Amino acid sequence: MGQVRVNATGAESWASPGHATRLVHAAGTHPGRVREVNEDSSLVAPPVFLVADGMGGYARGDVASRLVVESFESLASLHQVQPADVEAAIATAQTRVASLAAEFSSAPGSTLVTAAYVLEDGRGYWLLANIGDSRAYTYAGGVLEQISKDHSVVQELIDAGQLTRDQAIAHPERHVVTRAIGALTVSEADFALIPAEPGSRLLLCSDGLTSELSDTAILHILSEDMAPDRTVLTLVDAAVAAGGHDNVTVVVVDVEGAGATAPAVERTAPGPQEGR
């Protein structure tokens, strides 16, 4: 295979208004080795970050994921993103993607994982929401933690004790999601409020990354002393080199600054519970 070409934004930074925190971020995507069309989309519009993985093939999953991104773009102008704002953007995306069904023989859909940097009592948090199997991770102190939960057939089997995580990697239904935006039924998002500690990293990704790289491999790359743009390029390059069976999209955000340490907050799912 020739040189892997990846579209990636350069590392950029955003300062939280009135708060000593900077978010240094980058995003990248690659169609992979197999698929001709890249159905992934991403949004990097601080304080909002998002990855959407379109589904549908000829039913234009690429359009579906792009509509999800467009539905969230207005959140970047908000001084403080609230759970209700995210819920409204999801509802808009659901309506817009569902309307595509009239144009195609099969209904397109999209996953969604989004994180907005918010302040609560002077402390920084990630307001997280996800539908489907696109994932969010945090990396801090040498520890990688998946902070989203997959909505997939294999995850349900794992939860039921019928499948191990290792077995799920090769399961024939490993790519089948149980929730999606616009896919025939209205799916609720899982919400969480996660401490955004100074010195930590946020990773959002489509399953084109996690289906090719183990958490151990992802941890190794995130732990290297590289800027977000180089980290994105390395992650995407590694996924394509490992097989590239699907589109790969990655967003990496470094939290920098001397903000106060945020206490842990209990996660809620489904539905936006905080701020109501």
pLDDT in tens, 111-121: 999 999 999 99
Domain that includes residue 242, residue range: 11-257
For position 114, which CATH number holds? 3.60.40.10
Number of domains the chain is built from: 1
The type of residue at 216 is: T
The percent helix, strand, coil of the chain (3-state, each to 5) is: 30, 30, 40
Rounded average pLDDT over 188-209: 97
What stretches of the chain adopt beta strand conformation (E)? Answer: 7-8, 12-15, 21-30, 40-45, 48-55, 109-110, 112-120, 123-131, 135-140, 143-146, 190-195, 201-205, 248-257
The share of the chain scoring above pLDDT 70, in percent, equals 83
Q: Choose the weakest-confidence range: 18-22, 120-124, 252-256.
A: 18-22
267 part of a folded domain? no
- Quick check: is 2 in a domain? no
Report yes or no on 265 lying in a domain. Answer: no
Q: Does some domain include residue 63?
A: yes
Q: Residue 275: inside a domain, yes or no?
A: no
Report if residue 137 sits inside a domain.
yes
- Position 114 in a domain: yes
The two three-digit tokens of residue 182, written as one number:
């616009």
The alpha carbon of 77 is separated from its chain's Cα centroid by a whole number of angstroms, namely 20
